[in-house]
A and B are shown apart, each in its own frame.
Chain A
């Protein structure tokens, strides 16, 4: 019951929600998929379950290509974020639903239902109406229902959302135990990394196919021109110090190798702190169709790592006023008076940050 996702892409209207995503999960493994809201985690689950056809890529279960299979044949269970218990059926009938679809015999069904309810600790609730269950109980019933028909893969969508802390920890432990005991392969998604450490064997970041690399300055010039000097064809996109030995350019590349974000880091002392080793961050740009994805932040974080290795103390930048909030979020502070940058004629401020914090 291994699961492989190969280069799955999903596009909603013009938005690329999943971009050539790949993931391997071995039999019995529990993998957590992490990413901020909107990064396509739930979409990935729906593609695996067959509720959504991807625009590209394949899904393989036990090395079988199930990408064109309808949902009801895949034997992939999905525990929904809001449980989706059938309101017209009681607890036992909910749990029995998948077994009935597989046309198991009555005694088989009853036995299995009892077994599963016991495993989640709700053996005494089998006749209860689902409307009267508490949050935690409903989640357990949803889990039981998903596990009862012995699916090959179990998917859990934000299983701990909306539960209080104590319940969370308890549930996380119970979920892991139950999944491990049944030996089923599982993927759970969450936007909160702390939850999943208790449950998952490993964590996969939804990278949307983007990687951060050092690039030569020639490669990043086109993006600079496109974003920073838009409408100013006559202006040069070379920055002073671009080709010095200590300068490096970090760029984000999509799966096809196209540069979609760039940043330039050069050794330059800062006027207000003489004598301290400082680098200036400049030339940050993100391609239009990759904006709002946190690429800028990732570049900064990656750059800070490099600077830390080099023993740099301070990093600073001339930030456009419109980007001040971005820098603040990354731990920069604004210093001094604002000024008008001569080339773009936009208002700027100086922002500063210590590299090691």
Chain B
């Protein structure tokens, strides 16, 4: 009996020793075989997006997806210092403050490539802006035409009785575009004015649904609903062309258009995760993420605008959705500070 136990014990110890040596971490900053890029579920760059990086550095890039942006950041917060990957893609300006507070990142702002002026310094010196997108009201042109209405141009138009019962938005407390639109109204109407604006919107029959899908595919008149004004993205009209069925040529007119005055700028960032074993290599990857080679692929794969100043937009975007000039913007700390109260009040107004 005793000998059997002793044998088993020593085998176990041996096994453990082998395992630990095999899995032992290599020295800091030595070149790894691969880097893990953590991102949200809809991060779908085309195949081969990282080939250039691998060719240049000899490092493979493995993409690890896990939930939406909020979930990814929540997990990163929980594992700060012992992260699931090396680089994180997808913190946006509504989440950045929280991410910084929870010390998720090892500060690094890439200056390897020129970025758009308005994006500089948005990363609080911790992360690098990699793309941006605008949340805007989209318009079903044909439907409005059939109603004999001109497309609305300003936020004030939306509370005009002419556009009664025509708008659908998503929930600001759980949906990212919903929150963005709320923030846009806070920017446009100020701390003291936005609540009245929303009361007027409710008066004018705005429909609030759960999420983007619900708004776009159930309530939007283009897909069988009865609302020709829907809260979506500035990149939605080009998507309507690219993913049209029956297929449309790239230069066909888009069936939907964007109401520029309603747009809110969302900026997305990427950063090196604190606790990674390969800080240097991770920084190189972040540099690659803002390179023109990579940024070129972004618009038609994940429907965002490149942060790299020199990157040209593809034709579909140029024709159907050029960059919005003056969207509403808000820095991440202001968002973090005001959001809980704004959302609570918004819930009260819209319930």
A contacts B: CB pair < 8 Å:
no
Tell me the B residues contacting A by CB distance below 8 Å: none
